[in-house]
Structure 1
Amino acid sequence: MDLGIAGRKAIVCASSKGLGRACARALAEAGCAIVLNGRDPEALARTGRELREATGVKVGEILGDLDDPATREELIAACPDADILVNNNGGPPFKPFAEITHDDILKGVESNMLTPIALVQALAPGMAERKFGRIVNITSSSVRAPIAGLDVSSGARAGLTAFLASAARLYARHNVTINSIQPGSFATDRQKSGLARTAATRGVSVDQARSESQARIPAGRFGDPAEFGALCAFLASAQGGFITGQNILIDGGAFPGAF
């Protein structure tokens, strides 16, 4: 399927690995020029090199933490006329509710709510003027079904979702869409670290923790990041112009709801 976005320009945040990288790869395969971002210089350079070799598209790399306004300014300067923005950022670490501090909450809100909002505010008006824009926010299935220990992440990402709900309707008439994808359990480094923590806490092997976690998912497995990237690319496509203000769950059926 031709997604109709060859030659478009995309900024993909936190894209040196994991789900962000998968989104960058899918968009590059669709013919988009990509601006990558990450905090690990080796991982960022490796992803940039791999995308260029695999797809032949133009790939830029902006090193830095998105919570730093200077990094965001550099990212925007690298692609001020972006057609596609994929908002992604590292989530707060697992922490029991009783141990969460005021500073933890502020940091989580900064990373997972205020930072993506700042990028949307900077880029959406230009998209509207050019009559094409696709904004995809990577949030979490915990927005829909909160997970104990990830309270800060759930709260901040839910705040982002609610905050942008009206903006999605505001920009729709200009062919600019704003949606979020809510990932469940995917085979990423973050998932591996979570399994290691669970195994250590319970005194079981990582393999056992993995098997038990997969068994709780109706699909019987973790998601492949490429599946996530494909969904992101479709939302960014020309054909995705009538989908906006939506929060799309991709979790192998783990959320037990009818709607």
Structure 2
Amino acid sequence: MDLGISGRKAIVCASNRGLGRGCAEALAEAGCEIVINGLDQDRLRETAKAISGATGAMVIPVTGDVSDAGVQRALLAACPEPDILVNNNGGPPRKDFRELDRAAMAEGVVQNMITPIELIQAVIDGMAARGFGRIVNITSMSVRMPIEGLDLSSGARAGLTAFLAGVCRQVAGSGVTINNLLPGKMDTDRLRGGFERAVSQSGQSMDTVRAAQAAEVPAGRFGTAEEFGQTCAFLCSVHAGYITGQNILLDGGLYPAAF
């Protein structure tokens, strides 16, 4: 399917690996010019080279923490008039809520709520003026379904979701959509880190832990960054202009609900 976004310009945050990289690769395949971002400069340059080599797309790397105001300015300098913004950021580590102090809670809210709002503030009026814009926020299944130890991440991402529920309806008539992608158990470094923690706590082998967690998913497997990225690219396409304010689960059926 031709997504109709060839030549569009996209900023994809936290995209040197995992789900962010999957989104960047899919948008590059669709013909977009991409600005990617990450903390590791060497990895980011390698990622830019790999995506450009595979797709022929222009890929510009911007190193740094997307929550840093200077890095945000650098992203916007590299892409002053983005048509697409994919918000993504690392979340707080697993921790019992009793162990969270004020500084940790404030940092988590900045990472997963304030930062994406700041970037949306910076780009949304330009998108509306040009009559086209796609904003996709990578949140988490934990917005709908509690995950032990991720209370801070869940709360901040749920706050973002509620904040944007009204915003998306203000700009829908200008050709701008805002949607959220909620990953479940995706085969990423973050999930593998959870496996390692489970191995150390249980004494079971990595294969046993991995198989047990995959068995919890009705699809019988973990999701991939590639299929996640393709879903993101569709939401950014001309075909998705009537989809806005939605929370789309990619969880293999793990969240047990009819609605």
Q: TM-score range by the shorter chain?
A: over 0.9
CA distance, structure 2, for counterparts of residue 174 and residue 97 of structure 1: 41
Q: Residue 14 of structure 1 aligns to a residue in which SS?
A: coil
1:69 aligned partner, one-letter code: A
Given that residues 14 and 89 in structure 1 are in contact (C-alpha distance below 8 angstroms), is that contact kept between their aligned partners in structure 2?
yes
Cα displacement (A) at 1:77: 1.1
User: Which residue of structure 1 aligns with residue 202 of structure 2?
Assistant: 202
Map residues 232-247 of structure 1 onto 2, 5 A cutoff: 232-247=232-247
CA distance, structure 2, for counterparts of residue 77 and residue 204 of structure 1: 49
User: Which residue of structure 1 aligns with residue 166 of structure 2?
Assistant: 166
CA distance, structure 2, for counterparts of residue 54 and residue 199 of structure 1: 36
User: Which residue of structure 2 aligns with residue 80 of structure 1?
Assistant: 80
User: Which residue of structure 2 aligns with residue 180 of structure 1?
Assistant: 180
Q: Residue 217 of structure 1 aligns to a residue in which SS?
A: coil
2:94 aligned partner, one-letter code: F
CA distance, structure 2, for counterparts of residue 185 and residue 121 of structure 1: 30
User: Which residue of structure 2 aligns with residue 108 of structure 1?
Assistant: 108
User: Which residue of structure 1 aligns with residue 211 of structure 2?
Assistant: 211
Cα displacement (A) at 1:202: 1.5
Q: Residue 220 of structure 1 aligns to a residue in which SS?
A: coil
1:61 aligned partner, one-letter code: P
2:29 aligned partner, one-letter code: E
User: Which residue of structure 2 aligns with residue 23 of structure 1?
Assistant: 23
User: Which residue of structure 2 aligns with residue 46 of structure 1?
Assistant: 46
Given that residues 172 and 244 in structure 1 are in contact (C-alpha distance below 8 angstroms), is that contact kept between their aligned partners in structure 2?
yes
User: Which residue of structure 1 aligns with residue 189 of structure 2?
Assistant: 189
**Runs of 5+ unmatched residues, structure 2:** none
Q: Residue 174 of structure 2 aligns to a residue in which SS?
A: coil
Q: Residue 65 of structure 1 aligns to a residue in which SS?
A: coil
User: Which residue of structure 2 aligns with residue 70 of structure 1?
Assistant: 70
Q: Residue 178 of structure 1 aligns to a residue in which SS?
A: strand
Cα displacement (A) at 1:98: 1.6
Q: Deviations over 1:205-234 (max 9, x none)?
A: 111110110000000000011110010000
CA distance, structure 2, for counterparts of residue 223 and residue 196 of structure 1: 18
Q: Deviations over 1:66-89 (max 9, x none)?
A: 111100111111111000000000
CA distance, structure 1, for counterparts of residue 240 and residue 9 of structure 2: 16
Cα displacement (A) at 1:153: 0.2
User: Which residue of structure 2 aligns with residue 221 of structure 1?
Assistant: 221
User: Which residue of structure 2 aligns with residue 127 of structure 1?
Assistant: 127
Cα displacement (A) at 1:146: 1.4
CA distance, structure 1, for counterparts of residue 11 and residue 89 of structure 2: 13
1:256 aligned partner, one-letter code: P
1:158 aligned partner, one-letter code: A
Cα displacement (A) at 1:100: 1.5
User: Which residue of structure 1 aligns with residue 256 of structure 2?
Assistant: 256
Q: Residue 164 of structure 1 aligns to a residue in which SS?
A: helix
Given that residues 134 and 178 in structure 1 are in contact (C-alpha distance below 8 angstroms), is that contact kept between their aligned partners in structure 2?
yes
Q: Residue 197 of structure 1 aligns to a residue in which SS?
A: helix
Given that residues 97 and 148 in structure 1 are in contact (C-alpha distance below 8 angstroms), is that contact kept between their aligned partners in structure 2?
no
Q: Which moved more, 1:200-209 or 1:1-10?
A: 200-209
Cα displacement (A) at 1:9: 0.2
CA distance, structure 2, for counterparts of residue 88 and residue 16 of structure 1: 11
- Identity over the aligned pairs, expressed in percent? 58
Cα displacement (A) at 1:242: 0.2
CA distance, structure 2, for counterparts of residue 7 and residue 35 of structure 1: 13
Q: Residue 2 of structure 1 aligns to a residue in which SS?
A: coil
Cα displacement (A) at 1:118: 0.1
**Runs of 5+ unmatched residues, structure 1:** none
Q: Deviations over 1:8-51 (max 9, x none)?
A: 00000000000000000000000000000000112101110001
Cα displacement (A) at 1:198: 1.2
CA distance, structure 2, for counterparts of residue 24 and residue 48 of structure 1: 9
Given that residues 92 and 153 in structure 1 are in contact (C-alpha distance below 8 angstroms), is that contact kept between their aligned partners in structure 2?
yes
CA distance, structure 2, for counterparts of residue 70 and residue 86 of structure 1: 18
User: Which residue of structure 1 aligns with residue 153 of structure 2?
Assistant: 153
